[in-house]
Structure 1
Amino acid sequence: MKTRITLIIAALFMAANFGFAQQDEECMLNLSMMNDYVKSKKFDEAYEPWMKVRNKCPKFNAAIYQYGEKILVHKIKKSSGAEKVAFIEDYMILLEKGREHYESRYSLGEVLEKQGIMMYDNKKELGKSDMDLYNIFDRGYKEDLENFKSTKGLYVYFTKTVDIFKAGNFELQKVFDKYDDVNEQLENLNGKYAKSLNELIKKEEGGVILAKKQARYKKYYQDKLVANEKIAGSLDTYIGDLANCENLIPLFKKDFPTYNNDATWLKRAVSRMYNKECTDDPLYIELVKAYDKTAPSADTKYFVSTILRKQGKNKEADGYIKQSYELQTNPFKKARLAKKIANDFKKRGSYGSARTYYREALKLNPSDGTPHLQIAAMYAKSANNCGNSNFNKRAVFWYAAQEALKAGKVDPNLKGAANQAANSYRANAPSKAEIFTEGNGGTTITIGCWIGGSVKVPSL
């Protein structure tokens, strides 16, 4: 028995670099029992040995806290009333003790966001107010932003800001500030996830088969990017009409004299007015000029280009676009900028220029397959203008389908959308009967106009 216990503890130590503060046989026995029960998902059975080792040897092993979280979460889900509240309160204490004894494993930001989410999920039982929830997440944001990574936590943090404003306890500016804070954190996190994901994708493209741990990380990064993008969209929905031009313009007019040299305030004001399409107001031009004067950057050059575009000065605007792109050095942000520039060109019908920037985005962030879908859509819209016969024009839809499918190959989360788009394009391509009539099955058609390239006609 002693040998078995020693082996289990050793295995825990080797697998997770756990440490011991004291060698206690009873604690080793209870830790072993807890370990077996938790791994078998028998959380109720694990509770008693866990409590014993936790109370007698709180510094014995980090598994006391990591497995303890799972045990208490199970207890909370299965209980109600006063018993449930007691388990929740114990969960809060457990996290604090985990940080006390294993600080390297329990960062302040992680502890606060876990406590905040537990409070949010059980707000009614705990009698917590929106301000209580806001305060715990606000502390995590202010004191340990680096480790405030929870997608749900960031969402709750912002939505509680809106709710408190609606209750009359926050100024509208506070809502806009927090919206920007949360979006910037999501963007920073996405930049890190994308960088790590692209490194793994590069290995795969080089013929390396990912180890199980690397494959798990790859999925984790992909899932986090999708979750964060969804939350970013949810923030826009939640802020709703609060962020319309009718509210933004008078607010920014009032504050502009105070913040006309504040680069952060100017950046946020310009971005908000641009994203909410308030660019026709003269204030937008004033804000952009002040921003570019105060802190010239890739962002300011881009926004100057939007003003010039509005004035019909497209050549000059394109020059600023080029400056903007060249000034940006962060690969993830540069990829997002490339997509933004490409979207602008696409809206104007400049498909060739749009594709150039979409392809730049793909080079910088190959794990993002959305540019492939955008390029495919442009191919499909150009079909009627690219070909010297009805058959050849519709053959462009095969080419569009090929491009759409690439999105699903680089990003599994886009596989459904990619397949749907490809099927839609194929439905507009020549039928088998038309291929038979034309007699060109298996031949290659050269596509003209801005698209270029070629596509092979399916063989019958």
Structure 2
Amino acid sequence: MKKKIILVASLLISVWLSNELLAQENGEKYGADSVTCIQNNSLYYEFYKQWKKSDYKNESWKDALPSWRWVFVNCPRSTINIYLHGEKLMKKLIKSESDKAIKEKYIDTLMMGYDQRIQYFGKEGYALGKKGVDLYKLRPSAYEQSYSILKKSIELQGNASNGPNLIYYFRSAEKMVKAEKAEKSILLDIYDQSSEIIDYNIINAKSDKKKKSWENVKGNLEVSIEPYASCEDLIGMFTPKFEESPNDIELLKKIIKKLAKRNCTKYPLYQNAVENLHKLEPTASSAESLGKMYIKKEEYSKAAEYLNESINLCEDPNEKADIHYLLASVYFQIKQYSTARTHCYKAIKNRSNDGKPYILIGDMYVATAKSCGDNDLTKNVAYWVAVDKFKKAKSVDSSVADAANSKIKTYSQYFPATETIFFYDLKKGDSYKVECWINETTTVRTSD
């Protein structure tokens, strides 16, 4: 087999020489001994092909190594295949070697290969990514070096970074944190940076397979950040920075983003950061955030103040609809029902296919039904208009149909009985105006 390979290689050399050796630049490309360079390139490649053909299971890689080594040392710029194939060959050699000292030298050669590839064939960001990952895997104690290599790779590659690079970038930084060579905040920065790259690649994936691969990377990263992103961790990291620079807009945005992402909005640091940012850069979003924050604290008047400000600053109809609905819920809590209903209708005006505001109006009618009457009839007529709203909700928005149907079934049982409407000179189908704050006309119905 070896004789056959050598014969094939010789034939290839003659063709190669006729086409390449005459070129003026070959002296530099193929080194001082271009004939031997081409010969060894052909020899190692023939053995490499045999190894690849066996799905990298036979021993041809051992036959490829001597010629490959010669090319790697003596004509390193002759072809990029030296590095593409050399990476595979060196990893096999490293895996097969039991002597630790020798194995370390082989790892050095693999790392040198990445450096030479960059020197002669460019694509620095991509090659550094492979180098950083392999260094982390093969020489775990070199995690700081891995971190630096992968950091530069990701800076160069951006959204073109590979998934494994992001994972091992985080892991190398994690080792630095555990060794007290870096602050925990570095992990959050890496998480944010990597998340943007991952999300970009999920959105722009050209196949389901690639999308699934990036989703797996995302899942891996989420699991990795979990031990370092508790609310207590985040508060501990950012409180000193906030106290030092309470009006640093970029810092405030960072604090707000990170605390909100981990659902840590109940802490004073979040409130202080949002309020400071709102003073410096008032926006619909910051006002809404403050409104939500005060809702959680059950300070509804203060929440209403900020949500009204948010509406005035907001231009997007969908966002306005959300804020009006939220504001309606706040006014419901403080029993300002007419104002709450007004905001429900404003939410509907901005998004007519949303059933939630109708549900909320119906809930308010239910809540005030008994207080809006003084007899067996008037204490129950509000349920008519409540059910009307529930029916309207499901007619415009199928997503609330189940909730609406449940409420319709429940509150239809509270309609006045037949004998009650008869006593007040009414009959089914009559038009009836519900008084009190409701002031709506509906149709008489009974519970039986």
Q: Please, what TM-score do these two structures have when normalized by structure 1?
A: 0.54
> Which residue of the partner structure matches residue 259 of structure 2?
273
Residues 129 and 150 of structure 2 are in contact (CA less than 8 Å); yes or no, is this contact kept in structure 1? yes
Equivalent pairs counted in the alignment come to 309
How many angstroms apart in 2 are the aligned matches of 1:298 and 1:32?
A: 67
Whether 1:86 and 2:105 are equivalent positions in the alignment is yes
2:87 to 52, 69, 77: 69
**Alpha-carbon distance change, 388 to 244 in structure 1, aligned in 2, over 3 angstroms:** closer
> Which residue of the partner structure matches residue 264 of structure 1?
250
2:187 to 168, 175, 179: 179
1:307-456 counterparts in 2 under 5 A? 307=293, 309-310=295-296, 311-312=299-300, 313=303, 317=307, 320=310, 383=402, 386=405
Give 1:122's aligned amino acid.
L
Gaps of 5+ in 1: 11-19, 201-217, 328-336, 345-349, 357-377, 391-460
**Alpha-carbon distance change, 326 to 152 in structure 1, aligned in 2, over 3 angstroms:** farther
> Which residue of the partner structure matches residue 435 of structure 1?
none
> Which residue of the partner structure matches residue 196 of structure 1?
204
**Alpha-carbon distance change, 188 to 282 in structure 1, aligned in 2, over 3 angstroms:** closer
SS of corresponding position for 2:184:
helix
SS of corresponding position for 1:144:
helix
Whether 1:155 and 2:144 are equivalent positions in the alignment is no
How many angstroms apart in 2 are the aligned matches of 1:49 and 1:278?
A: 60
> Which residue of the partner structure matches residue 274 of structure 2?
288
How many angstroms apart in 2 are the aligned matches of 1:5 and 1:62?
A: 18
**Alpha-carbon distance change, 294 to 97 in structure 1, aligned in 2, over 3 angstroms:** farther
Residues 137 and 157 of structure 1 are in contact (CA less than 8 Å); yes or no, is this contact kept in structure 2? yes
Residues 201 and 214 of structure 2 are in contact (CA less than 8 Å); yes or no, is this contact kept in structure 1? yes
SS of corresponding position for 2:29:
coil
**Alpha-carbon distance change, 316 to 286 in structure 1, aligned in 2, over 3 angstroms:** closer
2:37 to 16, 19, 27: 27
Q: Which has the higher contact order (CA 8 A, sep 6+)?
A: 1
CA deviations on 1:326-366 (whole Å, 9 max, x unpaired) are 59xxxxxxxxx9xxx9xx9xxxxx9x99x98xxxxxxxxxx
Note the C-alpha offset of 1:258: 2.6
Residues 159 and 197 of structure 2 are in contact (CA less than 8 Å); yes or no, is this contact kept in structure 1? no
How many angstroms apart in 2 are the aligned matches of 1:297 and 1:190?
A: 28
Q: Alignment RMSD, CA only?
A: 4.6
**Alpha-carbon distance change, 219 to 61 in structure 1, aligned in 2, over 3 angstroms:** farther
Give 1:98's aligned amino acid.
R
**Alpha-carbon distance change, 381 to 235 in structure 1, aligned in 2, over 3 angstroms:** farther
Gaps of 5+ in 2: 1-7, 19-27, 327-343, 355-396, 410-448
**Alpha-carbon distance change, 118 to 324 in structure 1, aligned in 2, over 3 angstroms:** farther
How many angstroms apart in 2 are the aligned matches of 1:322 and 1:220?
A: 45
How many angstroms apart in 1 are the aligned matches of 2:283 and 2:209?
A: 33
1:40-189 counterparts in 2 under 5 A? 40=53, 41=56, 42-80=60-98, 81-103=100-122, 105=123, 107=124, 109-123=125-139, 128=141, 130-140=143-153, 144=156, 146=158, 149-170=161-182, 174-176=183-185, 178-189=186-197
Note the C-alpha offset of 1:121: 1.5
> Which residue of the partner structure matches residue 249 of structure 1?
235
Note the C-alpha offset of 1:287: 0.5
CA deviations on 1:175-222 (whole Å, 9 max, x unpaired) are 12x23322232233234424532xx4xxxxxxxxxxxxxxxxx35631
Residues 151 and 231 of structure 1 are in contact (CA less than 8 Å); yes or no, is this contact kept in structure 2? no
> Which residue of the partner structure matches residue 221 of structure 1?
210
**Alpha-carbon distance change, 147 to 385 in structure 1, aligned in 2, over 3 angstroms:** closer
Residues 135 and 142 of structure 2 are in contact (CA less than 8 Å); yes or no, is this contact kept in structure 1? no
Q: Name the % identity.
A: 20
**Alpha-carbon distance change, 162 to 29 in structure 1, aligned in 2, over 3 angstroms:** closer
